[in-house]
Every structure is written in C-alpha cells, then in structure tokens.
Amino acid sequence: MRMKELSDRSGVPTATIKYYLREGLLRPGRRINATQAAYDEEHLRRLRLVRALIQVGRMPVATAREVLVAVEDDALDLHSRIGAAVWSLPADFPDTGAKTPGTAPPPDAEAPVPDAAPDPVVAAAEERATELLVRLGWSFGSAARGESPAYRTLVEAIAALERSGYPCAMEDLLAYGRCADQLGVVDIDMIEAYEPGTRMVEAAVASTVLYEPVLLSLRRLAQAEESNRRFGDGG
Amino acid sequence: MRMKELSDRSGVPTATIKYYLREGLLRPGRRINATQAAYDEEHLRRLRLVRALIQVGRMPVATAREVLVAVEDDALDLHSRIGAAVWSLPADFPDTGAKTPGTAPPPDAEAPVPDAAPDPVVAAAEERATELLVRLGWSFGSAARGESPAYRTLVEAIAALERSGYPCAMEDLLAYGRCADQLGVVDIDMIEAYEPGTRMVEAAVASTVLYEPVLLSLRRLAQAEESNRRFGDGG
C-alpha cells in the first residue's frame, strides 16, 4: 500500500509517519520509484505499536527505539518483551498538571534538590519500599528492581510524603499494595485477551497508560463518596 | 519569627515565600518596621499546605487561592471543605510524561480533536461512566457529578481507550471501581487520624496528591509481578 493508505488505515497522519521513518522507528517501505514507496501489513502493525509507545505512552523517541528492539526480539520470553515496554514507560507521575497554562512558578520553586550526598529521607524511603515489596510477597526482579522507573517513583513518592509532613504508615502502604495486586491480575487478564506477541505488548502499553486516569479519577470519586458517608450533612 | 526562620523551618526558599505573599496565598506577616515582618506558627502551617498544593500537587496558583478560601470557611461542613479542596486538584492525568526532555513530537501528532459538535465517543463514554457509578452504588453528588474534574477525567479516559482501539469492558471498569472503593476507605481512615478542621482538609489534599504516584507505581510493579508469574521463564 502507499503512504496515503497506511495513514488512512492506521489513523496516523502522513507527516507523523514520515517523522517516524526519519527517526528509524519504522522501516523504510519498498521503493517503487524516486518519490514513492510501498508499505505492507507489517508496517501497519509496527506503526500501531509505535503509536502506542509514543502517542499513548508518551515515551521519548530514543527510548521507543530501544523498546522496539526488545519487543521484536524472538529470543526473549513474552514476559521480558512486555516488561521491556512497560518498564520503559515514563513514570514521573508527580509532574501531572505542571504545565497548566497560566501558571508561572517562581524562579526557584522547582529547583531540583542537588543530589551530591545521599539524601537520608530517600534512603529511608528506599528501605520502606523494599520492606513493602517483601511483605507483599512480590519476588519478581529483586535484582533489576532498582533500575525500574516505577520502583524509583515509588521511593520518591514515599520520600515526598515524609518531606511534606504526612509520613505514610506501613499498613497504609500495604493496603495500597494489596489493591495494586488485584489490579495487576485484572490488567494481565485484559492483556491476555490479545494474541501473544507484539499485539499483546501493544495492549500492555496501552492499558498500562490509559487505565491510569481511570484509576486515579475513580479513587477521587470514591474518596468523595466515603467522605460524604462519614462527614456529610446526611452522614 | 522572621522570614529567614520561616524559610528554614518550612524548607521553602525566601524567594518562593515572597512569591506566595505577592500572590495572596500567604497572609502578610505582622509589620515590625518598614522592611521587616514577623510570622507565626499559623504562617508556617499554611506555608506547608501551599507548598504541597503548588509544588507537589502542581495546582495552578489561581486554583490554590480559591481552595484556600473554601478550606478556611467555617460555615461549610467538613465534607464540603474536604471536597472543595480535593475536587479542585488538577486531574489531567493523561498528560503524564508528555514533557520528557529530548522528545520532539511531530507537528501534528498531538493536534487536539476539534470539539465543536458533541463527540459520540465521549457521549457513549459518559453513559458507561454513569452506569459504572450506579453499579458501584456510589450515590454521592449525582447532581454535581458532571462538574467534578475527576468525573470529567473518567469520561475522557474511557473515551481515550475506545479511540485507541482498546475499548474497556464494564467488568474491568467495575474491578477498578471496587479497588477504588477500598482505597477511598483507606484514604479517609488516614485523614481521620488528623484533628477535624483545617488540618484534616490539609491532610486530605496532601494524601490525595501524594499517594497517586504511590498507587501508580505499585500498579506497575504488580503488573510486572503478575506478568512474570504467567509468562516468565520460571512461570
């Protein structure tokens, strides 16, 4: 098929397809003449995966390029291929809302904390995170765990709670962990509905990212519900 | 105390404190002379909350100003004060990670869908969201629900799943809702540990924001755990 059809069938604009080609995220089509190339079903499939990583997953291009290599490496088991994609997703959740228009933060408000000496709050948070995962019985990736963006985010989040004067109790972390455990099962059930291989990796990336706002908004609505039960006028 | 001590005890740089004063987020101190003012414990407490809202919660300054008014309105019941604060938190979760440095998205990749006519996908998502909340038995705020940023985010998230080719099943939404229900109870338990009034509202805002990265990172780690159980080499 020509570029135009590839665009129509994938829903990705041609300018974006050309950008992915330039960045090496999509293999060049078969040359027909000096200005045209032909694309096949493999290009379409790959294009959908690239779109899932970059547009849905907001993954940096350089990261997406690395992820694609792992995803298409037949020597890896399915877990490693899904893991390569999901672990590489940006996990800088606390930045949510930072770019709301009209907000002009003061010049030094967001200055990063210099990370020369090891921060004792972060070190303590790391200990609690490790204890939490052990108590949850999560055995996976204890060696590679430190490299996972999600694990780093967890540690930073526990440290942020401490610094803000709202230290979290282990029992609360455990309650969160048990909920996450249930969600992990629901999520992998969803992913298993897709055929094994790249399509499943795509689904893993998409559902990981796209269910995050579902989860966070439901949590806020549930808080409102519970708050009304306990403190509301009718409560 | 002087500005310097307020800065030391809160960990907020003096330039940022001056910015909060200019923006009306912090009441002026008691004038001592032409160039100096004195601050008290109330300033310190308020400063910590403002910092959590703006720096951790990334709330726009104008929103933070409104929230602080509601939080300190003694005429409102506790549920309304907690609600006013929590509902106003930015809930544009899907933007997470969009500004990762080094990512140059193609010019038209993120062009917003024009919202002139009512979008049928959004209308369908709204129906599903309403059905979900009814099935969860969440009675609260059915009238005000449409105004809640969290509810709008939920609708948009369901629509985004549909548009991306990964439509969600009601049973999956229900599974997420039931987890959120448990978290709502855990969250309000946490908040109840603080004394009723402003301090409790503060805790609600801080924990709502600061537990979000905890929850999302734990979900990702749980997915990795479950994926390894099912698809891993040892599984």
ipTM of the complex: 0.81
3-class SS of residue B24: coil
Q: Least CB-CB distance to B140: which of A62, A97, A228?
A: A228
Mean pLDDT of B170-194: 94
Closest CA to B91 of B216, B212, B219: B212
Which residues of chain A make contact with B175, given a CB cutoff of 8 A?
A: 182-183, 186
Distance between start and end Cα atoms, chain B = 61
Mean pLDDT of B26-50: 91
Q: Nearest chain A residue to B12 by CA: give it.
A: A109
How open is the CA angle B66-B70-B75, to the nearest 5 degrees?
150
From A218-232, B3-17, B30-44, B192-206, the region with the lowest mean pLDDT: B192-206
Rounded CA-CA distance B154/B90 in Å is 13
Closest CA to B103 of A67, A26, A90, A206: A90
Q: Please return the burial class of B186, using the count of CB atoms within 10 Å of its CB with bins 0-12, 13-18 and 19+.
A: buried
Contacts of A11 (CB under 8 A, 6+ apart): none
Residue A230 Cα, gap to closest chain B Cα (Å): 8
- pLDDT single digits (tens) A82-109: 888 887 887 766 443 333 333 344 444 4
CB contact under 8 A, A95 and B96: yes
Interface of A with B in 72-111 (CB under 8 A): 77-80, 82-83, 86-87, 89-100, 102-111
pLDDT beyond 70 at B44: yes
Rounded CA-CA distance B46/B26 in Å is 7
Q: Nearest chain B residue to A208 by CA: give it.
A: B220
Please give the helix or strand (H or E) that residue A233 lies within, else none. none
- Token digits for B18? 């001056």
Q: Least CB-CB distance to B166: which of A99, A207, A219?
A: A207
Closest CA to A180 of B210, B220, B213, B209: B220
Rounded CA-CA distance B187/A223 in Å is 7
Who wins on pLDDT, B9 or A114?
Answer: B9
Which residues of chain B make contact with A60, given a CB cutoff of 8 A?
A: 100-103
